Structure 1
Amino acid sequence: MTTKLGHLAEMADGHRSPEVEFLLTQGHERHFKIGEHLITEGETTDYFYDILDGTVALARNGRDGRRQILSFMSARQFLGAASTPNYPNLATALTQVTAISYPRSALEKALATTPGFASEFRVVLTRILESAHDHVYTIGQRSAVERVASFLLYLRANQARFSPDGPREKSNHVELPMTRLDIADFLGLTIETVSRAFSSLKKSEVISFKDSHSCDILNIDRVRNLGGRDDFTDNRGSSYD
């Protein structure tokens, strides 16, 4: 059994049952290096992960070899809770990742027998679904600069929504743990186009960079105008400031 508590264990507080207790004893902490796969396409859905730290890219590869990144997942998100017997997607560590793995069979028994725990679990899945909807909006009918601006709003929302210590207010400092190629595969653009879009936002003093893995939003109103919305909503149903 892992010695480090995750989000699932937090959710179990106040919703104890023999099935939940058994589930928690089956958790094992695992560590993944950059580029290592947590799950692969076609792999049987025997386990799911409670991500403790790091960033994971959830992607799907086409027959032509092109990759579409579907989501960037991080702390307090669950990976692999699929409804199918085999995983349809590929999950790769973009940074060093720590996660707790749980047997899917134990999870399903705990959810079936413990309504309060199941309700808590559905809330997390709903937040992940909302994040997927944000992604669809981000890659909509928008120019490259507008997509990147909307992407920054997406990251800003997720960093607050899925903070390791729980939901918090948004910050104008945005972490970029992914590469420009990852961003391109997420936004449906080329890496050159993504780089030019960031350069354009920097030149117009909308954002600034201290390094390649983070940026500061200097003009949030301009980012919102380019992104085409005020902001993405939080888990409480209202927009963050």
Structure 2
Amino acid sequence: MTERRGHLAEMARDEDSPELNHLFAEGRERHYSPGEHLITEGERTDYFYDILSGTVALARNGRDGRRQILAFMSARQILGASSTPSYPNLATALTPVSAVCYPRAALERALVTTPKFASNFRVVLTQILESAHDHVYTIGQRSAVERLASFLLYLRANQARFSTGGPREKSEHIELPMTRLDIADFLGLTIETVSRAFSALKKGNVIAFRDSHSCEILRIDRIRELGGRDDFTQHRGSA
């Protein structure tokens, strides 16, 4: 039997069907360098990706050239599931990324013939929708510092929800593999405003930087106060 890897394998645990076996047999592991695209806007939605490691920015470009980052995706997340014949978004590796690429047609056949697998897959799609709602919340009617605080809560929940080894408890250590420009394009701010917001949180001893790609939340109560909520949802379990 073909080795099953990644989050899709978790969803299919203890399940077996010819269509499911064909799906995993068709999976191909691919590796991407920072700046390389996994998918591009307008490309046919013939494949989808199960991210094994690294961070991917899912974005959409406007006619005026401005970019809106829609999500930061990492291990144990599914990229490219679409109801349209072509991808409306662009997915770019921010760090070295490994992902298993599967044919969309093989996935659809496996979903039809393996009900439990299909049920687990729907849960994952619901989580993607909920993460999109979280993003809308981070940029809605809030100041720059408040958006950034909400963003740190968003990352804190997602890093626990989608950690490589499976869901874990939340931590005050926040990985920041994206650039300040990426954060600005996610929050709908300028890079200068994002830098000032980080400086304000650091000056207030709310966060501290250990290096250029991570920070520590020193006062989670203050981050929650600024973010306007206790936390974002964290799903437990394998699916």
Gaps of 5+ in 1: 237-241
The whole-number CA distance in structure 2 between the counterparts of 1:2 and 1:97 is 22
Gaps of 5+ in 2: none
Normalized against structure 2, the TM-score is what?
A: 0.97
Cross-structure match for 1:239: none
Cross-structure match for 1:10: 10
The whole-number CA distance in structure 2 between the counterparts of 1:59 and 1:197 is 23
Give the conservation status (yes or no) of the 8 Å contact 2:19–2:110.
yes
The whole-number CA distance in structure 2 between the counterparts of 1:2 and 1:200 is 52
Moved more, 221-230 or 2-11: 2-11
Cross-structure match for 2:162: 162
Give the conservation status (yes or no) of the 8 Å contact 1:4–1:29.
no
Quote the offset at 1:2 in angstroms. Answer: 8.0
The whole-number CA distance in structure 2 between the counterparts of 1:103 and 1:153 is 34
Quote the offset at 1:210 in angstroms. Answer: 1.0
Normalized against structure 1, the TM-score is what?
A: 0.96
The whole-number CA distance in structure 1 between the counterparts of 2:30 and 2:10 is 18
The whole-number CA distance in structure 2 between the counterparts of 1:10 and 1:205 is 40
TM superposition outliers: structure 1 runs of 4+ over 6 Å: none
Aligned length: 237
Given residue 118 of structure 1, which amino acid in structure 2 is its aligned partner? A
Give the conservation status (yes or no) of the 8 Å contact 1:30–1:98.
yes
Quote the offset at 1:26 in angstroms. Answer: 0.4
Give the conservation status (yes or no) of the 8 Å contact 1:2–1:100.
no
Given residue 89 of structure 2, which amino acid in structure 1 is its aligned partner? N
Quote the offset at 1:61 in angstroms. Answer: 0.1
Instruction: Name the % identity.
Output: 79
Given residue 174 of structure 1, which amino acid in structure 2 is its aligned partner? I
1:129-144 matches, within 5 Å, as: 129-144=129-144
SS in 2 for 1:85: coil
SS in 2 for 1:184: helix
Give the conservation status (yes or no) of the 8 Å contact 2:39–2:87.
yes
Cross-structure match for 1:210: 210
1:57-206 matches, within 5 Å, as: 57-206=57-206
Q: Is 1:51 paired with 2:51?
A: yes
Question: Given the superposition, is the C-alpha separation of residues 181 and 24 from structure 1 closer, same or farther in structure 2, using an over 3 Å criterion?
Answer: same
Quote the offset at 1:142 in angstroms. Answer: 0.4
The whole-number CA distance in structure 2 between the counterparts of 1:219 and 1:6 is 34
Please give the root-mean-square deviation of Cα atoms over the aligned residues, in Å: 1.4
Cross-structure match for 1:222: 222
The whole-number CA distance in structure 1 between the counterparts of 2:4 and 2:106 is 19
SS in 2 for 1:42: coil
Quote the offset at 1:123 in angstroms. Answer: 1.2
Cross-structure match for 1:23: 23
Question: Given the superposition, is the C-alpha separation of residues 40 and 175 from structure 1 closer, same or farther in structure 2, using an over 3 Å criterion?
Answer: same
Given residue 125 of structure 1, which amino acid in structure 2 is its aligned partner? L
Quote the offset at 1:145 in angstroms. Answer: 0.3
The whole-number CA distance in structure 2 between the counterparts of 1:52 and 1:196 is 34
